[in-house]
Amino acid sequence: MFEGEHMAGTTDKQLIIDGKRTDGRTIDEIRPLRIEVGVISSADGSALVEWGGNKVLCGVYGPRECIPKHEASPYGALIKCRYSMSPFASLSEHGRSGPNRRSLEISKVIREVFENLIIAENFPKTQINIFIDVLQADGGTRVASITAASAALASAGIPMRDVVSAIATGKVDGQMVVDLGKDEDNFGQSDMPIALSHRKKDILLLQMDGLLTKEEILKALDMAEKSCEKVHEVQVAAVRKIYESAALSEQKISL
């Protein structure tokens, strides 16, 4: 909980009416998700994620020389991550951007997700930078960022043990839901972002704001697994598209 943020569960506003949420979704429905990779020409890998009202841009650089040099490790690449929110990301919070406690925390937890996935030992004495800019924020930007970074790293050809997909789960009006929008995140009873690796289903991120029972947490994990499957499909389709177009242009050259 950060300065200016709303405390979970602090509204009387009804967020679920007749099984439908304020934007018409059912409890296990995710918002429209679009991913495009290869959107930054100077980056080694990049992805733009548009997820509901979120717009998140991720650029990946490396493996490249580690600067400052004294940070370099002979055992593997150093993973660096910087998440930041643009000043115009959210109308109501206009101007509250730049590095702050929230963005430092999110950068750290995202870095830890990828430290567990990237085969860093293949690239000693180097660094891999993951830059994430939230252009528009509408609840769930950290899970959108992880989803974007995963696609960007894959498009950069950086070897990973698995692909990660992420989703926010939470409790709204006493019911467990997935992919919380901004109002649900700010005024729901609890929110729990989750990141899962695709093959092994390892939990790479799990945070919680508010309170949930053991049964509710297990239900959220189950719902997250199903939603992450949908997110994964969109990620794979986006990455496949650029590899296919690269293969096509190679074919044209050889003709």
Chain residues in the site for ligand ADP (CB under 6 A):
5, 85, 89-90, 93, 96, 102, 137-142, 168, 182, 185-186, 193
Distance CA 62, CA 248 (A): 25
> What is the closest distance, in whole angstroms, from the C-beta atom of residue 92 to ligand ADP in the complex?
7
Of 120 and 168, the one with the shorter C-beta distance to ligand ADP is 168
> What is the closest distance, in whole angstroms, from the C-beta atom of residue 147 to ligand ADP in the complex?
12
Q: Is 17 helix (H, G, I), strand (E, B) or coil?
A: strand
Q: Which two tokens stand for residue 113?
A: 């997700």
Of 127 and 150, the one with the shorter C-beta distance to ligand ADP is 150
Q: Which two tokens stand for residue 183?
A: 């109002």
Of 87 and 157, the one with the shorter C-beta distance to ligand ADP is 87
DSSP string computed for 69-106: GGG-BTTBPEEEEEEEE-TTS-GGGTT--SS-HHHHHH
Structural contact between residues 178 and 188, judged by C-beta atoms closer than 8 angstroms:
no
Q: What is the largest CA-CA distance in the chain?
A: 66
> What is the closest distance, in whole angstroms, from the C-beta atom of residue 111 to ligand ADP in the complex?
15
> What is the closest distance, in whole angstroms, from the C-beta atom of residue 16 to ligand ADP in the complex?
19
Of 25 and 78, the one with the shorter C-beta distance to ligand ADP is 25
